[in-house]
Amino acid sequence: MVEVTVTPQSSLADRPVQIRVQGLSPSQLVTLRAWLKDEQGQCFQSRAFFRADEAGEVDPGLHAALGGSYSGVWPMGLLWFLQPDTLFRRLVKRDVAGSPFRVRLEVLDGLSLGTDPREQPLASCEAERWYVGPGVQRVPIREGRVRGALFLPP
């Protein structure tokens, strides 16, 4: 049974996570796809092609991506190379304290460009990427023409 995991499943956006796929056949070609919808409902995604090792595992921190949104060894590449489906969109988090970005990770058999909406993933999981840690207080700042926010630790 194929399984994809993100450790830790919930983390701050500037913290590294480990992505691992297990249960593949040795040397199996797979596509790892990451996607999320921003606060306006726009989709951002990245994908990378991998060949499983002799144990049937893929770890982007150890194994080089063969192509896709990036190539080479990038442990966080699937999260760093998210691109919009609609041109000229930027991934911006406005509600930094209220909710995380929920990133969906999927493992697809073979080299998938994602053109077939009926394509079923072999495995999937979800990771939360928070921009403010627990207990951090956000204080709006308005002084003359200056606008900003002060984030106070707990």
- Predicted confidence at residue 117, as pLDDT, reads 64
What lies within 8 Å, CB to CB, of 134 at 6+ separation is 154
Mean pLDDT by groups of 10 residues along the chain of 154 residues: 97 96 97 95 96 98 97 97 93 90 96 77 96 92 95 93
Q: What is the CATH number of the domain that holds 26?
A: 2.60.40.2240
**Strands (DSSP E) found in 2-143:** 3-7, 10-12, 18-22, 29-37, 43-51, 67-68, 83-84, 101-109, 123-130, 137-143
- Predicted confidence at residue 116, as pLDDT, reads 65
| Residues of the domain holding 31 | 3-152
d(CA 54, CA 76): 23
Structural domain tally of the chain? 1
**CA dihedral for 53, 25, 80, 67, sign (positive or negative):** positive
User: In Å, how far are 22, 27, 89, 93 from 84, measured between CA atoms?
Assistant: 28, 31, 6, 14
pTM of the model: 0.88
- Predicted confidence at residue 97, as pLDDT, reads 86
Helix (H, G, I), strand (E, B) or coil at 77: helix
